[in-house]
Structure formats: C-alpha cells, structure tokens
A and B are shown apart, each in its own frame.
Chain A
Amino acid sequence: MKITRQAFLALLAAAARAFPRPRRMAMAIDLAKCWKDRGCTRCSQACHAAHNVPQIPDRRREIKWIWKDRFENAFGEESASPAVAGAPVPLLCNHCEHPACVKVCPTGATFKRASDGLVMMDEHRCIGCRYCMAACPYGSRSFNWSDPRPFLRTIDPAYPTRTKGVVEKCTFCAERLARGGQPACVEVCPPKAMVFGDAADPSSAVAQLLQTRHAFRRKPELGAGPNVFYLL
C-alpha cells in the first residue's frame, strides 16, 4: 500500500495528538525576590481563600497548603548560613517525581497525574488513615481533625469544601491550570518571585530559570525528586 506524503504527515500529527508528550509542571521560587518583603503572606492568603482552607486557631491542628517557615527549618540547620538563617521560605507540596504519599496510599486517593505530574488528592476516596502524612518528608499534608466549615469566614462556591476525617494539600491549582491559568500564589505574588510552568519544555520560563540559575530543592538526598525549586 502506498501512502502519500500528505497522508503520512497527517497520520504523524494525529499520533502526536493522541500521545502528547507528558508535561512536568514545576515551580521555581526566587528567594531574593520573595525576601523583598519578609512579612508578606499574600501567597498563602490567596491560596487559602481560593481553596476554602480554614483558619484553625489551634496551631497543632492547622490546615495549610502554602505557608512560610524559617530557612533552617526548610533546608536543615547545616545549610543555613547567617546570611539566610531565619529568613522565611514559602513551603508547599513539592509534587514529587516519586511521591512517597502516592506510594503508601492504600486507596489511590492521592495519585500522580500522568499528563502533567501533578500530585492530586481525591478527598472523596480518602479513608483518613494519614499514612501519607507519615510518609511525606516535607510536612505538606494536612488532616481535617474536625469539621473545617465552622472555621471558614467566607466560602468560595467555586471550590469544594472538605469534610472532617480526610487529608488535603496543595494541588498546584489544578482547577486554574485546567482553565489555562496560573496557580493563585504565582499570580498574586507582588514581586513575581514564583515562576510556574512545564519543566519538560526547554522553552518554558521555568526550564530556562533552572538552566541558568543555581536551583536547589528540599531534602534531595531522599530521592523523592521535588518539583518545587528554590533560587538564590
């Protein structure tokens, strides 16, 4: 059977559409930019408002998707020189290449999305065993120790609230990405310290940054392969 050049190319294009190259969504956080205002909490405010994350007064039971902690707590005492010790670092789910949470989840309630590498959470399937919290080396996961709704001042109807007894975490704003947007924290950051995109695409802004700047990650020795990078 003979095939014309045109038909061959059309076939190739169809195959490329049917099997798209998987994307690897990643974030690069420029700490020097972030530290222009060390007291800024706009990223967590925007995130927590967009996702109906409750403000729980008891610190031990708090729920947080993105928050700030001291440099030495994020990267270990040994890596904190006096220049950076005490400086606040934004922390969130690292959407790891090899997420320990996904490996241990007994129901597949948390899973890694093949198309773009996002570590997702199905709060309707979660049985609340908290194995993922024991497994996550980054403390990125929160459990609803009680009903979160009384702790919500306002509820954004565009995003579901959760029930007591399930785990939740940052999703890289999967719902905003689906609409072609950027994560809420990236969008709101005043000094534009966060850059988000497809690290597997060499032309993306995040891939360019990771090529040209010194980037480091939390606990790289564990082999989880975090997709949140910090630039200094």
Chain B
Amino acid sequence: MTVLAKAMLGGRAYRWWLTALAAAIVTGVLLWLRQWHQGLAVTGMSRDVAWGLYIGQFTFFVGVAASAVTVVLPYYLHAWRAFARVVILGELLAIASIVVSLLFVLVDMGRPDRLLNVLLHPSPSSLMFWDMLALAGYLALNVIVARAALAAEIDGAPPATWTRGLVLLSIPWAVSIHTVTAFLYAGLAGRPFWLTAAMAPRFLASAFAAGPALLILLCGAFRYDIGEEALCKLRLVMTYAMTANVFLALMEVFTAFYSGIPGHAAPYSSWTWLSGGFAAAALALALGRSRYAPAAVFASLAIDKGVVLIPAGFIPSPSGAVTPYIPTAVELGIVLAIWSVGALLVTILFRVAIAARELDAGASPQCLAS
C-alpha cells in the first residue's frame, strides 16, 4: 500500500466524518434534482431579488481561493521559509475553493444544460465571460503547481524548476480572479449598493482575512503544526486585512450617508448593520489576539460577503420596492452539500499533503482524527 493510499485511511471518527459529508452531498444532489425538475422557484429568490445565497457563496469562495496568495507570495517571491509547511495547504485550499465556487454558479443557473453556451458564444463585453476564464485558469495553475509540489515532496526532491514561472504567474492571477468577480457587480449602473470603486479593494481585503483565518482553523482541525512563526504571521495578515476590510466598509457608509443620495442609503437594512456589527466584533477579537479571532473573522466574512452583500444589492428594486429574501430549506440543503464537497476535497487533499510532508520528515502521519 502506498503512502498516499494510507493517508486516505483513518480511524472511526474519520470514517464518521466522511459518512456525514457523503450524506450531505447525496441529500444536496437529490435537492438539486428537485430544483432541476421544478425550477428555481424552490429557492427564496424572486423577480426583484434575482440573486441570493448561491451567488453570495460563489463570491465568498472566489475570495478564499484568491487568498492562497497570502502564503504563496511570501514563500515564493520573498523566499520566506517559515511558510514552507503551509504553502502547499494554501494552494490546495485554493483548488477546493474554486471547485466550490464553480458549483455555486452551476446550481444558480436556470439552464445548466446550456453551460457551454458561455464558450460557444464568447462575449467579451460580459464580465462573466472574463470571470469564467480567470477562474478556469486559476484552477489549472493551482492544480499543476500543487501536483508538482506534492510529487516532489513524495520523492523527497525539490520542486521542479519549471513550476516557478507558473507559481509567480498565479500571484497576479489570484488578484485578478477576485478583482474580476468584484467587477461583476461594481459595473452595474442601476445597483447603487454595488456601484463603488471600493468594491474590488474591499473584496481583496476581506479575502485576505477570510483565507488565512480558514487556513489557521484547518491546521488546527488537522492538528498540523505549521510552526509558531508561520501561525503568528498568518494571524497578522488576517488582522491587517480585516482592518482594511472594516475600514473600507466604513468608507462606503460615509459616502452613502453623507452624500444623502436616497438610492445609496436605501440598501442599508438591519441585516447589513448586523453583519457589519459581526465584522467589527471579529476585528476586535483579532486586535485583542483572541484565540477565537480566526473563527470569528471567517464566520463574519462568510455572512457579510456570502449572505448579505448580494441580496442587499437588490434592495430597493428598480421601482423602489423592498422584497424580502428568505432562503428556503432546499436552498440551504444545496449550500450545505456544496460546502461538504469542499470539506471532502480539503480532507483528502490536506491528508495527502500532510502525509507527504511527514514522510519527508520521517515521521508518521498525524491527521484528522486518525
């Protein structure tokens, strides 16, 4: 049995974990079949709120994918060795996040059977066309780079030199995927909540906070020691990025309310304020170096960007109507299933990477609940 195959095996808790994920995924597939059969009427979306949880979660996970750059850049560009143990995890997390975000786009489509129309009738004036290209390219880059790095690690050799160019390319590419995703919304004249030049910078700031936060949480869950220095730096990146994110959010509030343009203040509902409050609380925890800071930062951003940002853009409607958006159980089940796909990918990819690393170090694999 190869080391990799061994990495896939585990104890009782591990098997329960896989069973739970599989159950969530199967449930989600069944719910999606129901959505396919009955139409998107099974969701809480409406004529006035045309995008909801699916597109919100898509946006959030593009950010998590882009955040790999927070470990890739210091390690590869500045040869910062402290990230040696975590950089591969960042790349693998990016792969899982891109897969998750693409799945969210797929379940949001009214006619997923026509997905290829995007390629058959390329429309360069649409940001969605560019987003597809950016995401596909980023996925390919990370798969190639991470695969080469893993293979080298298993062989106990340094990574092949040809991968370095691709790694360097992946740095601006990571920034581009989230910039283009912000442009999806920030270029729409009729949606004042999104029509802001600060959208892309804020997307990058919140991504570079949520990504390191998730990496810290995952390393904890896998009981994988990345070293005190690396952990400290990740928390620092998370805290600075979260500060920038909250700062930019306050800039938005100032412009919306001081300008006094009704359409710009209208989207601020109790949900927006509540999620802003969460973000401020998470930032306070991060600044206070609380051990709960990564969980709070991740959760608050998953809500702010993944739940509130998209429906809020549809308030009020072009004719001033406020239509509430409440996700349905079907929608939530499908979201949970896609999260489970991500968790499954992360579980497998991280176990392999950690096993390869431990093999390198001559120790036995120390994995999640093994």
Contact = CB atoms under 8 A, between A and B. Distances in A.
Contact of B115 (A125, A127, A136, A145): A127
B82 to A, nearest CB: 42
A69 to B, nearest CB: 5
A128 interface: yes
B188 A134 contact: yes
Interface string B295-323: 00000000000000000011001111101
A93 to B, nearest CB: 12
Contact of A143 (B47, B126, B262): B47
A109 interface: yes
B12 interface: no
A134 B111 contact: no
A74 B313 CA distance: 19
Contacts of B269: none
A171 interface: no
Contact of B313 (A91, A134, A146): A134
A168 B114 CA distance: 16
Interface residues of B: mostly helix, strand, loop or mixed? loop
A107 interface: yes
A166 B320 CA distance: 24
A63 B50 CA distance: 13
Given A126-B110, A147-B39, A107 B123 contact: yes
B2 interface: no
A219 interface: yes
B117 interface: yes
B81 to A, nearest CB: 43
Contacts of A108: 121, 123
A61 interface: yes
A222 interface: yes
B188 A100 contact: yes
Interface in A72-116: 72-74, 76-77, 91, 100, 102-109
Nearest to A139: B318
Interface stretch (B88-96, B127-135, B218-226, B354-362): B127-135
Given A125-B114, A127-B111, A136 B128 contact: no
A133 B320 contact: no
B189 A223 contact: yes
A129 interface: yes
Contact of B126 (A60, A61, A106): A106
B319 A142 contact: no
A224 B189 contact: yes
Given A77-B262, A131-B128, A126 B114 contact: yes
Contacts of B50: 130, 133-134, 143
A38 B54 CA distance: 40
A213 interface: no
B129 A134 contact: no
Q: Which 9 A-B pairs have the closest CB atoms?
A: A128-B110, A137-B190, A165-B110, A139-B318, A60-B46, A164-B39, A146-B39, A106-B128, A145-B41
12 contacts: A61-B41, A76-B320, A107-B114, A107-B123, A109-B117, A127-B114, A128-B109, A131-B184, A139-B319, A166-B111, A222-B189, A224-B189
